Chains A and B, each alone.
Chain A
Amino acid sequence: MATFKEFRNNVKPNWCPGCGDFSIQAAIQRAAANVGLEPEQLAVISGIGCSGRISGYINAYGLHGIHGRALPIAQGVKLANRELTVIASGGDGDGFAIGMGHTVHAIRRNLNITYIVMDNQIYGLTKGQTSPRSAEGFKTKSTPEGSIESTLSPLEIAMSAGATFVAQSFSSDLKGLTSLIEQGIQHEGFSLINVFSPCVTFNKINTYDWFKENIVSLEQFPDYDPSDRVVAMNKIMETNGMLTGLIYQNKSRKSYEDMIPGFKPEALANQELSITQEQFDQLVAEFK
């Protein structure tokens, strides 16, 4: 069985020292090992941004695609080979601005993949513009007078889109994050894990210290029941979206793959490409 070290490669990340993304990478590697995966059984599909580079830093199959499209690519991979564990990952701009349409529909579709958003409330790669996750009044290169748009709440959106697994974490909490990723991988359906991942270079407001002060951990509520949708939604609103932990899980809904008529449990990629002459004749018969 592979250890987390086997999910490491020898590429040195080009992230700034102190960037929150390092820990997310480590958490994915640990979680993959903890759930018993071998590197070739994992595919990490990422978007474009500082965060999007993550697929190149993990020893597994990886595809670094185009901005905002990690999810449809990841869903294609999963449909083609459902035996793979598929993780999609990218930034808050990637998933909640340019790729928001895909995020909502991937949630609705509920394929058995895990989506990890590396949420730094800013555009890192393009050197510090506002993101849909930026707070109102947040000053950036693109909002010198402060952002005048309201902040998007991905957790609320996920809940209302019918998510079956919603979690949030903080990159400093390696243990908690690793555990959530494991649970996300094991969840039979789409799992969204939004991870606060400070951008030490461009975001001087939402810093490590700021998160430590503002995060509300679900551990504080021993009676919390993540299977109750209304409770989950209330808690998200009460804590202004700063909640961390497993917020909601619906274990009864089947994954998309399991609901496709005639879809086999084995990888489609390994199935025969040709059909029989008899099958072909049947197809042709309706045109006579």
Chain B
Amino acid sequence: MISQLSWKIGGQQGEGVESTDRIFSTALNRLGYYLYGYRHFSSRIKGGHTNNKIRISTKPIRAISDDLDILVAFDQESIDLNARELRKGGVIVADAKFNPTVPEDVEARLFAVPITKMAEELGTSLMKNMVASGASWALLGLPLEVFNKAVEEEFGRKGPAIVEKNIEAVKAGAEFVLEQAGGPLDDFKLDEADGKQKLFMIGNEAIGLGSIAAGCRLMSAYPITPASEIMEYLIKKLPKFGGTVVQTEDEIAAVTMAIGANYAGVRTMTASAGPGLSLMMEAIGLAGMTEQPLVIVNTQRGGPSTGLPTKQEQSDLNAMVYGTHGEIPKIVIAPSTIEDCFYDMIEAFNLSEEYQVPVIVMTDLQLSLGKQSCEPLDYSKVQISRGKLVKDSPALEGGELFKRYEFTEDGVSPRILPGEKGGIHHVTGVEHDEVGRPSENAMNRKLMMEKRLKKLNNLRIRDAIRVDAPNEKPDLLIIGMGSTGGTIDAARDMLKENGISSNHITVRQIHPFPAEQLKPHLENAGKVIVIENNATAQLAGQIKMNAGYADKIESLLKYDGNPFLPLEVYKACKELS
């Protein structure tokens, strides 16, 4: 019996790789396994190799594995490209149609199943993914009823006849391979899962769900990889709550529309990736200057320019921290788990209203699109706080205006919404006085700058840094952000086995930087390694600049478009310690 296993399906884009993966993993989720998915795809829609990998475990996992146990291949290219990832004794299930061959240097068991032929015999070659997944499911010795239930849900809306056919296809694949293999493979038998109900979703869906829970009712956005799923999710759900999504003409419209809607009192967000974020910069300054709440999700992908639009990277950090001209208060938070994606959206909307500032939630492609198990989400934990929002202010006398930008101790002024009788004031991106009227008065300017900038002096977010520090004086402190946490933890297990003690910190509050919280950990560590998916060590730069300890800090960088693998992290850490 084994506690974890990795499964991959590869083929041409548009060939059913996605749907096979979906059904396979839904069934595993029902059985209570922890899952972590990785989608490899190019920006082509049809054609071009694509593969989806799922790691299956009886314990929580948040990283892809270094190796692979089962590869399901629709074509020889899928074998040629992926077979070397297989562990010794791994399995390939391939379509007999293309006379699959295993590369000479790979030691794997090949099951050639007449996938296309069986599908065609049952009615249509479209069902070949069902034959293939049935075969690989059967090799694992997992209960077929659970799988069939997932098939039923996938095809239910197409009618019982289609469901029936697909279930037959699954059965055909399963029976064929079991006969070939002489029953389920003993060394692939997974321990039983804990059976606890988990959610299985991508980060972007958790972000969409979190937004609704946070009271977000409008989204204005322009499509872009890897952000579009947030928009697509909200397009489906917001109408049920009286809200809507506007697909705007560009990201400038998206962000300014969101500013207008927030100004008028609706929690509104936009989401984009690098190119769109660049277009939003001027408007982010407007929100900062006019103290409007605003939530932007930036799902990072490979830059610069169009860069690697469908690949992993974490290279927009500086753009988010420093972007926009002039100086404004701004919050950048980085969820690092699927659960964070949900809860951080609630935090983001609250912070944006409490501090009346733009909040950027930064994810990365792997966190946004990687499908993974999520612990049950607790709606009772959702608290909505609208900060100093004023209702029913007394009517204004003789031309008086509401002090929307009143100087206060904490810098945050009362906020009132258009429509309120006693609330008329002006809003302008020009420097202004307490009622919002343009002013070039030097004294006022100085006070207003200080007022805005001091708003974040006492900012405390939930887990500004997330600390896993079992060692008082670790050999190594590993620091990361975003989706890399699970990989780092997997590497730490290997380090521990090799006698190297390590602590792990995930930086979640990127800006303003939580230097004071980080310092004692930097102090106590023998060495520090910062792990990030970019070429210029942007997170390490923030740490050195804000917290110091520059001479202790090393970097492990990866910017080839792929997420880190545990082994890579392990090797770099071992070398350093």
Chain A: residues with CB nearer than 8 A to chain B?
A: 9-11, 38-41, 43, 45, 53, 55-56, 59-66, 69, 71-81, 83-84, 101-102, 104-105, 109, 260-264, 267-271, 273-275, 277, 279-280, 283-284, 287-288
B259 x A76 contact (CB < 8 A): yes
B253 x A66 contact (CB < 8 A): no
Q: Known contacts being A56-B426, A76-B220, A80-B268, is A102 close to B249, with CB within 8 Å?
A: yes
Q: Show 9 A/B contacts (Cβ-Cβ < 8 Å), sorted by A.
A: A69-B256, A76-B220, A76-B257, A79-B260, A80-B263, A260-B244, A279-B240, A288-B29, A288-B197
- In the complex, what distance in Å separates the CA atom of A43 from the CA atom of B243? 21
Q: Which residues of A contact B438 (CB under 8 A)?
A: 53, 56
Given A56-B428, A72-B260, A288-B197, 11 extra CB contacts under 8 A: A40-B423, A65-B256, A75-B257, A76-B220, A76-B259, A80-B262, A80-B268, A81-B418, A109-B246, A279-B240, A288-B199
B264 x A66 contact (CB < 8 A): no
Which listed residue (B205, B242, B264, B426) contacts A84, Cβ 8 A?
A: B264
Q: Which residues of B contact A66 (CB under 8 A)?
A: 256, 282-283, 286, 429
Q: Which residues of A contact B217 (CB under 8 A)?
A: 268, 271, 273
B264 x A273 contact (CB < 8 A): no
B252 x A79 contact (CB < 8 A): no
Q: Which residues of B contact A84 (CB under 8 A)?
A: 264, 418-419
Q: Which residues of B contact A279 (CB under 8 A)?
A: 240-241
A72 x B252 contact (CB < 8 A): yes
Q: Which residues of A contact B250 (CB under 8 A)?
A: 101
B268 x A76 contact (CB < 8 A): yes
Which listed residue (A71, A81, A102, A261) contacts B264, Cβ 8 A?
A: A81
Residue of A nearest to B30 (CB): A288
- In the complex, what distance in Å separates the CA atom of A268 from the CA atom of B260? 13
Inter-chain CB contacts under 8 Å: number: 193
Residue of A nearest to B423 (CB): A40
- Whether, in the assembled complex, B49 has its beta carbon less than 8 Å from a beta carbon of chain A, the answer is no
Q: Known contacts being A45-B260, A79-B246, is A61 close to B418, with CB within 8 Å?
A: yes
Q: Known contacts being A56-B438, A260-B239, is A73 close to B259, with CB within 8 Å?
A: yes
B418 x A76 contact (CB < 8 A): no
B256 x A76 contact (CB < 8 A): yes
- In the complex, what distance in Å separates the CA atom of A260 from the CA atom of B258? 17
B249 x A79 contact (CB < 8 A): no
- In the complex, what distance in Å separates the CA atom of A280 from the CA atom of B417? 28
Which listed residue (A10, A59, A63, A80) contacts B424, Cβ 8 A?
A: A59
Residue of B nearest to A14 (CB): B438
Closest beta carbon of chain B to A272's beta carbon, Å? 8
Counting chain A CB atoms within 10 Å of each CB, the highest count among B240, B261, B268, B401 belongs to B261
A79 x B244 contact (CB < 8 A): yes
Residue of A nearest to B418 (CB): A61
- Whether, in the assembled complex, B209 has its beta carbon less than 8 Å from a beta carbon of chain A, the answer is yes
Which listed residue (B256, B282, B377) contacts A72, Cβ 8 A?
A: B256
Q: Which residues of B contact A9 (CB under 8 A)?
A: 399, 401
